[in-house]
Structure 1
Amino acid sequence: MRILLLGEYSRLHNSLKVGLKAIGHEVTLVGDGDGFKNFPSDISIRPTLVNNTLIRYIKLGLYKFLKLDISKLERGIRFHFQLHRLKNYDVVQLINERPIKTYAFWERFLLKKIFNHNHKIVLVSCGADYSNIAYAFNHKEELSLLTPFFENPKLKSHFNFALEYQKKSHKKTHEFILKNVNAIVASDFDYVAPLTKIPKFKGLIPNPIITNNTQIQDNPIADKIRIFLGINRGNYYAKGICFFEEALHTINKKYTSKVEIIKTENVPFKEYISYLQSSHIILDQVYAKDQGYNALESMARGKVVFTGANSDFLSHFNLKKDEVCIEARPDVTYLIKKLSYLIDNPERIAEIGNNAHKFIQKEHQYIEIAKKYNKLYNSI
């Protein structure tokens, strides 16, 4: 089959592309690099005008006074110029309800062109979208990326990226996509419950991770236990990073001679991985039911990851608590206790890390996940 992967968040489509090609498909990926992460694509729609200093100041001025984002406009223009290359694919897969990330009216116009000139359409629920943001508002008692906003509405400006999905303009996009897609899948448990009442929802297909039997990092604790916190300023509050930072402050004072704390901010994926590889414990996020992509990449390398791991996740994969990762919670005392246990019992770091690596091999191996997508494509 000829498969078009439209959009990229977190490296999901890049990894899936490798798996789909390995089982014989022809695959093209269109993306904008996802900002500072700089993920590769076959056809790039990355905004480049903002690299010009003058244009950058103009952009800031236009956004401040008119709320006009020229990066969104540029993505739409660049995508429009590529439409002639995006025809006659057997399957088009959208990474999200806003795979192009332009203005809503233009997103719909461009997607209509895609839908009219291709065959099967699949939507992956990955990241914020209309369904899971609406679900969060209707289930405020459940932890979600909006929990910090519900607890402190003054943080609203930090959640504009998510609240945008509840605007009337995006709701029209959501309804348009829902009408035209053949199937919807969730990439992790955080997106399952919001989709269960939608007839086109086909269930969970876990994130694909490129890994093999030799990828686990042989990283013995020779001197200090290295704890890594990679910060993305854009989702600082949505990930609950403040809880990790406060816990690390105490851990650093309590175990000065035993730990080395590494913190980075907004680094490209390749640089992020280099820090990850030399660390033993990775702090990912607290407002989640399942693991995001960075957590899975870390687990594949045999790291102990503090991340989403609620009862739904444990039950689905028939796991015990703390077996393959540490459930992170928005509770500093709890995080300090869990970190202290690992520092005081370093043999558990190797044990959980080894379990994590085996879990990724079993449940997230990229070729096996590609086969699940292939089965989905053939069923619709």
Structure 2
Amino acid sequence: MTAKNLKKMKILLVGEYNSSHKTLKDGLVALGHEVTVVGLGDGFKKRMVDVNFEDKYTSGLPLFLKKVWFRLFKTDLTSLSIKKQFFRNKSIFENNDIVQLINENSFQCLPPIERDLLRYIFDHNPNVFLLSCGTDHLSVTYAMEKKFRYSILTPYFEQKGNLKLYQPILKYITPPYKALHQFIYSNIKGIIASDLDYHIPLLGDPKYLGLAPNPIDLSEIAYIPMDISDKIHIFHGINRANYYKKGNDLFEAALAIIQKKYPEKVKITTVVSVPYNEYIKAYDKAHILLDQVYAYDQGFNALEGMAKGKVVFTGAEQEWLDYHGLEADTVAINALPDPESIAEKLVWLIENPEKITEISKNAREFVTKYHDHKVSAKNYLDKWQSAI
């Protein structure tokens, strides 16, 4: 049965990561389904969800109390709070036709409590799926084994920053999270990957249902035609917590080269850890967007920039080119983990501004073809149905 012939379904999307579930919901609703998104709004980015679970222990005195409480009693106050909110809203987690988890730690609780919440979901819903989006046990294991040429763990291997920065990634290969992975894996109907960085580690897995590209609602993102009558504007957005993991240090080194070489030709704007609604407006006038280095494919931020017609430096590796049948540097710029290489690509664009206009148009066309949220929603529906 194809997606367009499916009966109206009640669908629950658990967790949020860069509006992927919210945008998928919009596509599913447009196709006639009833959808609820539950989550914590993806941290400081303040993404929109239908039912928001509040984390009261992120700063100030509550955070201090949380740390003290954990040291004394080995109990996480955030996990206890989320569990209380979950069971206060437990009817949401019952009798859905489809449930999809954003990743293996959708509620951001410690494994024992996460397991309790997931067990309730598995017991009260017949068809639960896992989205490999962000980090999880399989993708982190793959990266730790250095099977990628480079990955989100490359700066860890290079000892950039302190170990604490990488704990949100490395936790997935610790025994408690491995056990959580096995519990989830044994109860789900299938796994879907959101891009090639998660698709590649899953190839050959018996529960892998395939790649469903990140959904983008193009009706909410206007294409901005390029105007290169003045300086070329380069925009660099930094998430301080992911500074090394996204390769922001490499971008800053490349920008220093460009600023010195073209002081009269470029304008460089840098913003740090701003909420999503501010971030997406902040680069409207930019020509070039520096997104991330350690990736083979584009994440949500890159795709939104491409939809606006920005020339985005991001993951655009050979595997991605081959998957879509593209030529290098025609839709997005592959940002290699080397400041000199990034600077060379920037020089090429500055010296050939007609390429900026050309790539801008191609980028919008690419997102329209592969990432439109209604097309993506049909893709998910077909994958879910194939495993039911």
The residue number in structure 2 matching 1:125 is 132
Q: Distance in 1 between matches of 2:74 and 2:268?
A: 39
- Residue from 353, 364, 368 that aligns with 2:360: 353
- Deviation of 1:221 (Å): 2.0
Does the aligned pair in 2 maintain the 1:136–1:142 contact within 8 Å?
no
What CA distance in whole angstroms lies between the structure 2 residues aligned with 1:271 and 1:281? 18
Which residue number in structure 2 is paired with residue 320 of structure 1? 327
Q: Which residue matches 1:38?
A: 46
Structure 2 match to 1:240:
247
Deviation, structure 1 residue 330:
0.8
Once the two structures are superposed, what CA deviation does each residue of 1:187-214 show, in whole Å capped at 9, x if it has no partner?
0000112112320101111001111498
1:228 aligns with 2:252: no
Pairwise CA distance, 1:265 = 0.9
Instruction: Give 2:337's aligned residue.
Output: 330
Deviation at 1:278, TM superposition (A): 1.8
| Deviation of 1:77 (Å) | 2.6
Q: Name the counterpart of 1:8.
A: 16
Deviation sequence 1:338-358 (CA, Å, 0-9, x none): 101111111111110110000
Is 1:207 equivalent to 2:222 in the alignment? no
Mark the CA change 1:282 to 1:268 in structure 2 (over 3 Å): closer, same or farther.
same
Which residue matches 2:265? 258
Give the Å deviation of 1:256.
1.4
Aligned-residue identity in percent: 44
Q: 1:74 aligns with which of 78, 81, 89?
A: 81
Residue 153 and residue 360 in structure 1: after superposition, are their counterparts in 2 closer, same or farther (change >3 A)? closer
CA deviation map 1:79-100 (0-9, x unaligned) = 2321122211000000101111
Q: Give me the whole-angstrom Cα distance separating, in 1, the residues matched to 2:299 and 2:68.
A: 34
Name the TM-score, length of structure 2 as normaliser.
0.93
Q: SS at 1:101's partner residue?
A: coil
Aligned residues: 379
* Gap runs ≥5 in structure 1: none
For 1:80 and 1:278, the matched residues in 2 are separated by 46
Describe the superposition over 1:268-320 as per-residue Cα deviations: whole angstroms up to 9, x where unpaired.
11000111212110001111110111000000110000001111100110000
Q: Please give the alpha-carbon distance, in whole angstroms, between the structure 1 residues aligned to 2:101 and 2:241.
A: 22
Deviation at 1:258, TM superposition (A): 1.4
Structure 2 residue corresponding to 1:106, chosen from 100, 105, 113: 113
Judged with a 3 Å threshold, the aligned counterparts in structure 2 of structure 1 residues 159 and 280 are, in CA distance, closer, same or farther, namely same
Q: Alpha carbons of 1:61 and 1:260: their partners in 2 closer, same or farther (altered >3 Å)?
A: farther
Match of 1:29, SS? strand
CA change 1:372–1:141 in 2 (3 A) is: closer
Over residues 91-130 of structure 1, what are the superposed CA-to-partner deviations in whole Å (9 max), with x where a residue is unaligned? 0000101111111011011001011111211111001100
- Deviation of the 1:61 alpha carbon: 4.3
Corresponding position of 1:365: 372
Q: TM-score, normalised by structure 1?
A: 0.95
Deviations 1:8-33 (A, max 9, x none): 01111011000000000000000101
Shift of 1:70: 3.1
What is the CA RMSD across the aligned residues, in angstroms? 1.8
- Give the direction of change, closer, same or farther, for the CA distance of 1:143–1:64 in structure 2 (3 Å limit): farther
